[in-house]
């Protein structure tokens, strides 16, 4: 059942800059979806419309069938959590625990519930041993996990991650994958904006491609990464393994390393 | 010729119990591009801050060992000299944007203005950079209106405007789309052709493999490996330090596990294509 829906949404910033046009998207609970597209395609604006940080200039954003324009941003933020692209836009406490506990505290939960949610979120994000540290004592890539934990602690139905893979190493990327799987298994919807095509090819089924303020395609990763016309229009690239399969003329829509290994094996054995 | 030399360098941030840089010995050759890689928190940004003299001038703490730039110890340079000889582009472009300029054009011109460059020279240089970085459509915009990736391009252009000999770039493409990322790598290549010495911190290993001359692998404050890109990225020891190998090198390891051995471990797409074509045509 559709939980979050954007119906013909357009948005123009107060300075007259139109950032998105006629966006239609819908998401069920428990889904993991990637949004990809060139810089300036309208990805961040779109997700900010989902959690009512921005209100549509025209069109409707519906959560559970209800138009979000009836609610305040604070009310919507209980349903839709947004992790900013830049962690430093979001961090304002002097220790990591307080930063993570801020959301649940504001939700007027009991002290024990606040603690439970904050500690659980910290654990999921691998932050347990740094709870008393100042957030700025951790490097940029890890500060991003503080902001992810802060949003997870709010226990919203939808969690939006804006470029969580930026600057992350192999272990952090794995942590992120586990985190997304954990959240979706709990019935939450996770929407991830990323520029990392390998990450998308390996870990997402549903991919939304945006270009020039609009949605160009909403399909599975394999279809997206083997549609050269679509990739050209949206200025995106195939993952490296797909590029290799393409240049080898393997005639198979390969998107992962394992698929490539099997394809080569099959050819050698045939 | 060595542009930057470090001997037995150790560093500890103020109030911290542990050293974040340990026994750093390094020689950065003039005119080469170095890829500095390693896990989050390995000490990469701290090492960059030492190279540009921000440690210990701005971040205090305890720095020991010898650091030389172009044959002179770093202490012999004033902070201003260092800043013009070593350009540094921040990891987070949001931190670097000056906040005092109204347009992208002015933002890129800001450093040159501070150096007292003649206005007509500034105009010419900035226009050249705007073309190089494909910022034409954005030049009249306020830097704060730009997207993360656009800010990242402006931040790097502002550094290159100062024409430093050494360019230290901390993750210039973390918020850029694939096309924007390749454009930045092409600019880095152009800087190399102009004889610049470049140190690049980057997680996009596949691009590093295609563009840099040497790779430095850091883990837990130490340099674990250093050498030619083709040597380091064909060595799976990189993985034990929490680093990453190019996709095609990982593919060759996966094929090896499946009983298929490539003649050589590839690090770029072209090399991988050639190696696999050989395997498939049963030349090996």
Spell out where A41-196 has E strands: 58-63, 66-67, 80-83, 158-162, 189-193
Query: What is the ipTM for the molecules in this complex?
Result: 0.85
- Nearest CA to CA, how far is B117 from chain A (Å)? 33
Contact between chains at A39 and B180 (C-beta distance less than 8 A): yes
What burial class does residue A185 get, using C-beta atoms within 10 Å of its C-beta: 0-12 exposed, 13-18 middle, 19+ buried? exposed
What are the pLDDT digits (tens) for B25-44? 999 999 999 999 999 889 99
Question: Is A62 in a helix, a strand, or coil?
Answer: strand
The minimal CB distance from A195 to the residues B176, B244, B277 is found for B176
Contact between chains at B248 and A139 (C-beta distance less than 8 A): no
Per-residue confidence in pLDDT tens, chain A, 270 aa: 799 999 999 999 998 889 999 999 999 999 999 999 998 899 999 999 999 999 999 999 999 999 999 998 888 988 999 998 878 777 888 899 999 999 999 888 999 999 999 999 999 999 999 999 899 888 888 899 999 999 999 999 999 999 999 888 888 999 999 999 999 999 999 999 999 999 999 999 999 999 999 999 999 999 999 999 999 999 999 999 999 999 999 999 999 999 999 999 999 888
Q: What is the pLDDT of residue B211?
A: 95
Q: Cis check for the bond before B56: say yes or no (omega within 30 of 0).
A: yes
Alpha-carbon distance of A246 to A71, in angstroms, equals 49
Question: Where in chain B are the domains?
Answer: 2-99+145-233, 246-284
Contact between chains at A248 and B269 (C-beta distance less than 8 A): no
Q: Tell me the range of A65-74, A85-94, B209-218, B254-263 where mean pLDDT is highest.
A: B209-218
What is the phi/psi pair of residue B239, to 5°?
-65, -35
Which structure tokens are listed for A108? 């007027």
Instruction: With a cut of 80, say whether residue B147 has pLDDT above it.
Output: no
Partners of residue B92 in chain A, C-beta under 8 Å: 86, 88, 140
CA atoms within a 13 Å half-sphere pointing along the CA-CB vector of A90: 25
Q: Are A67 and A60 in contact (CB under 8 A)?
A: yes
For testing contact with chain A, the best of B17, B46, B155, B178 (most A CBs within 10 A) = B178
Q: For residue A198, give the H/E element and its range.
A: helix A197-203
What burial class does residue B115 get, using C-beta atoms within 10 Å of its C-beta: 0-12 exposed, 13-18 middle, 19+ buried? middle
Question: Is B242 in a helix, a strand, or coil?
Answer: coil
The domain made up of A1-79+157-168+186-236 has a fold known as Rossmann fold (3.40.50)
Q: What is the pLDDT of residue A86?
A: 79
C-alpha B186, offset from chain centre: 13
Q: What is the pLDDT of residue A10?
A: 97
SS3 per-residue string spanning B70-98: CCEEHHHCCHHHHHHHEEEECCCHHHHCC
Strands B166-170 and B197-201: parallel
Contact between chains at B176 and A236 (C-beta distance less than 8 A): no
- Selecting from 3.30.70.270, 1.10.630.10, 3.40.50.300, 1.50.10.10, what CATH number does the domain B2-99+145-233 have? 3.40.50.300
Question: Where in chain A are the domains?
Answer: 1-79+157-168+186-236, 84-155, 238-270
Strands A80-83 and B214-219: unpaired
Q: What is the pLDDT of residue B16?
A: 80
What is the band of B178 on the pLDDT scale with cuts at 50, 70, 90? confident
Q: Are B28 and B48 in contact (CB under 8 A)?
A: no
Partners of residue A140 in chain B, C-beta under 8 Å: 45, 91-92
Partners of residue B251 in chain A, C-beta under 8 Å: 241, 244, 257, 260-261
Contact between chains at A171 and B242 (C-beta distance less than 8 A): yes
Instruction: With a cut of 60, say whether residue B101 has pLDDT above it.
Output: yes
Alpha-carbon distance of B269 to B252, in angstroms, equals 12
CA dihedral A137, A141, A147, A148 (to 10 degrees): -140
Contact between chains at A244 and B272 (C-beta distance less than 8 A): yes
Residues from B in contact with A at Cβ < 8 Å? 38-41, 45, 91-92, 94-95, 145, 147-150, 171, 174-181, 203, 206, 242-244, 246-248, 250-251, 254-255, 258, 260, 269, 272-273, 276-277, 279-280
Q: Are B50 and B43 in contact (CB under 8 A)?
A: no
The minimal CB distance from B277 to the residues A235, A240, A248 is found for A248
């Amino acid at each position: 059942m559709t939980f979050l829906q954007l119906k013909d949404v357009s948005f123009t910033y107060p300075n007259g800059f139109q950032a998105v046009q006629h966006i239609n998207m819908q998401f069920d609970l428990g889904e993991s979806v990637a949004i990809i597209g060139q810089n300036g395609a309208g990805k961040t604006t779109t997700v900010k419309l989902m959690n009512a940080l921005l209100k549509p200039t025209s069109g409707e954003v519906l959560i559970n069938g209800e138009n979000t324009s009836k609610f305040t941003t604070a009310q919507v933020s209980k349903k839709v959590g947004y992790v900013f692209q830049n962690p430093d836009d979001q961090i304002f406490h002097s220790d990591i625990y307080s930063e993570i506990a801020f959301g649940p505290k504001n939700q007027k939960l009991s002290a024990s519930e606040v603690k439970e949610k904050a500690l659980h979120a910290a654990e999921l994000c691998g932050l347990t041993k740094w709870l008393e540290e100042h957030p700025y004592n951790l490097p940029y890539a890890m500060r991003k996990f503080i902001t992810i934990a802060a949003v997870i602690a709010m226990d919203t139905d939808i969690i939006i991650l804006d470029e969580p893979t930026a600057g992350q190493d192999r272990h952090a990327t794995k942590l992120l994958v586990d985190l997304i799987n954990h959240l979706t298994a709990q019935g939450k919807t996770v929407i991830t904006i990323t520029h990392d095509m390998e990450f998308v090819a390996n870990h997402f089924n549903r991919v939304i491609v945006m270009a020039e303020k609009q949605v160009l395609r909403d399909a599975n990763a394999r279809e997206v990464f083997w549609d050269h016309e679509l990739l050209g229009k949206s200025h995106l690239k195939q993952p490296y393994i797909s590029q290799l399969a393409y240049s080898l003329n393997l005639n198979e829509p390969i998107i992962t390393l394992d698929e490539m290994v099997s394809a080569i094996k099959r050819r050698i054995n045939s | 010729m060595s542009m930057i030399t470090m001997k037995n360098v150790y560093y500890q941030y103020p109030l911290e119990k542990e050293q974040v840089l340990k026994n750093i010995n390094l020689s950065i050759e003039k005119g080469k591009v170095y890829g500095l890689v390693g896990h989050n928190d390995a000490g990469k940004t701290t090492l960059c801050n030492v190279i540009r003299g921000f440690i210990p001038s701005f971040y205090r703490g305890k720095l020991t060992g010898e650091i030389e730039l172009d044959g002179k110890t770093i202490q012999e340079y004033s902070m201003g000299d260092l800043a013009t000889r070593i350009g540094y582009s921040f990891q987070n472009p949001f931190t670097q944007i000056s906040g005092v300029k109204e347009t992208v054009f002015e933002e890129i011109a800001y450093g040159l203005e501070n150096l007292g460059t003649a206005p007509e020279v500034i105009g010419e240089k900035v226009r050249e950079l705007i073309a190089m970085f494909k910022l034409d459509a954005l030049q009249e915009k306020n830097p704060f209106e730009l997207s993360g990736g656009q800010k990242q391009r402006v931040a790097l252009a502002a550094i290159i405007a100062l024409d430093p000999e050494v360019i230290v770039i901390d993750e210039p493409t973390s918020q850029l789309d694939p096309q924007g990322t390749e454009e930045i790598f092409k600019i880095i290549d152009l800087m190399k052709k102009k004889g610049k010495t470049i140190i690049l911190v980057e997680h996009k290993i596949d691009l590093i493999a295609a563009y840099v001359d040497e790779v430095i692998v850091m883990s837990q404050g130490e340099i674990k490996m250093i050498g030619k890109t083709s040597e380091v990225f064909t060595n799976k020891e990189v993985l034990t330090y929490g680093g990453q190998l190019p996709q095609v090198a990982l593919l060759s390891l996966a094929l090896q596990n499946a009983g298929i051995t490539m003649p050589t471990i590839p690090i770029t797409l072209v090399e991988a294509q050639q190696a696999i074509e050989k395997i498939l045509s049963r030349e090996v």
